[in-house]
Amino acid sequence: MPLMESFSGIRGVHDDGLNEQVAIRYIYAFSEIIKKKYNKKKLKIIVGTDTRPSREILKDAILESLTEEVTDLGIASTPMTEFCVRHYRADCGIIITASHNEPYWNGFKFLDKTGGILEVKDMDKVINLYSKIKKLSNKEFFDKFLLKNFTKEKILSKKVLKKYEESNKKYADFVLSFFSDKEKNTIKSSKLKIVMDPNGGTGIIAKLVLYRLKVKVKGINMDYGIFNRAVEPTEDSLVYLSNYLGEGNYDFAAGFDCDADRVEIVTRNGMLSGNHLLALISDEVLKKTKKPIVVNNATSSMIKEIAKKHKVRYVETEVGETKVVSKMQSLNSKIGGEGSSSGVIINPSRCRDGILTLVYILKIIATKKKKIENLVRELPSYYNLKNKVTVSSKKHLTIRKKIIDFYKKKKHKVKVSGTEGSIKVIMKDSFVWFRTSKTEANLLRIIVDSNNKEKSEKLMEEATKMLKK
């Protein structure tokens, strides 16, 4: 199976397109680009993994191929690894993860010295360098490229520092640093109780943070690497969590993906959308800042209403965490994210953070003394629907043209992001959004957003029928 290569990282099926030789070549390409970018002969690199079966095989290949100073975090969430790049003042980082893909997948997220995902231009350089060396025989690659790094001096100075327990504690400290002593004490005294399902992934470390806040946790699937449901936390994969809520009078349930950059909240009424989580947290953060809020262009207009309420500028980017983070940094924004994928980004964090999002929701419930269902009912009403359609990658351009022509004939405004990006059809109080998945082959994602439920349903039906004709 071919690799999925994009600005968000590399993913593939282990031993079917992604193996140790691919890993060594990609890490070589990444380290060379970073050395050139910062004019360095030797790097300090952070490495963390999620909990997939192939994690140690790929990590060992990486560690053996580097002559750099490496800090090995062991099992670590994406947000924790990104934080540790900054905390340990490293030059870059590597996360061995395939995020929400199933366990037989794996991959790499490449981090800059800010802790954030590499900017698109740098990731393009990494992919281009890899493409030049990927077809070389092992002997050619080792002789012409890799072994030039293995001088006697570099081998003798090579270090691998293990920071397993320390990095967990430092990350927990970082998450709690977002909240005042008064806010933390309010959470502690609120007697909140939640159900938590990390599904054997890195979200297990959330329990360390929640223990310090005296939140009672019923943990489900709390053994690293034991996956008892689909890795992606969706309404279907998490539906069973609602059964636990009544048993012990829990406030809500939280389900993570494998690298814990996403969390989904399940209530007695069903699963909240990522847009709801972003709206709740934005409403809180924007009370204390007049800086813009930055979101991707698939985020519900519900967030635009929140920005309007607080009289702050609302800025959209193309989909992609790195694009949102980059714009947030240029505008000194305090809050942003991707409501389309449960991604809340709170400055100074440089990524979506499921654990930080969870604690922020607990803080809002504790300070407002309201159930989460009631807090959601107070938000602007928008009906955000999602669908996936299987399409051949060979017909990508034909399908894009079909979408654009269909909606232009209906006299709607159509915003197109290049030849590979999203297509957003804008109507009064509604939009329809299309984009080819960068993480799952042959899938086209559709999102419809409207302040009218019936209209959302009709728009989704129309879009799906149009694509299947």
DSSP one-letter string for 63-82: HHH--SEEEEEEE--HHHHH
- The answer to whether 202 touches 222, Cβ cutoff 8 Å, is no
Domain locations in the chain? 4-168, 178-377, 383-468
Q: Which two tokens stand for residue 222?
A: 């709390």
What is the assigned CATH class of domain 178-377? alpha beta
Dihedral of the alpha carbons of 445, 450, 455, 456, in degrees to the nearest 10: 30
Collect all residues with Cβ–Cβ distance below 8 Å to 271 and sequence separation of at least 6: 234, 235, 238, 239, 264, 265
Q: Which of 94-98, 104-108, 117-121, 441-445 has the lowest mean pLDDT?
A: 441-445
Tokens of 389: 């359609």
Q: What is the CATH architecture assignment of 383-468?
A: 2-Layer Sandwich (3.30)
**pLDDT value of residue 155:** 66
User: Is 4-168 a CATH 3.40.50.720 domain?
Assistant: no
For the residues 155-183, what does the mean pLDDT come to?
Answer: 92
Here the contacts of 302-311 (C-beta below 8 Å, separation 24 or greater) are 302/275, 302/276, 302/339, 302/379, 302/380, 302/381, 302/382, 302/384, 303/275, 303/278, 303/279, 303/339, 305/380, 305/382, 306/279, 306/282, 306/379, 306/380, 307/282, 309/283, 310/283, 310/286
**Which pLDDT value is given to residue 246?**
81
Most confident of 338-342, 400-404, 415-419: 400-404
Domains 4-168 and 178-377 share a fold: yes
What is the mean pLDDT of the segment spanning 288-303?
96
Find the radius of gyration of the CA atoms of the chain: 22
State phi, psi for 398 to the nearest 5 degrees.
-65, -45
Q: What pTM was estimated for this model as a whole?
A: 0.93
Averaged pLDDT, 364-374? 97
pLDDT at 149 exceeding the cut of 90:
no
What's residue 153's pLDDT? 67
Confidence of residue 29 (pLDDT cuts 50, 70, 90): very high
Query: How would you classify the pairing of strands 17-18 and 9-14?
Result: parallel
Residue whose tokens read 């062991």? 74
Question: How far, in Å, CA of 448 to CA of 127, rounded?
Answer: 33
Q: What share of the chain has pLDDT > 90, as a percent?
A: 84
Examine the pLDDT at 248 and tell me if it is beyond 90: no
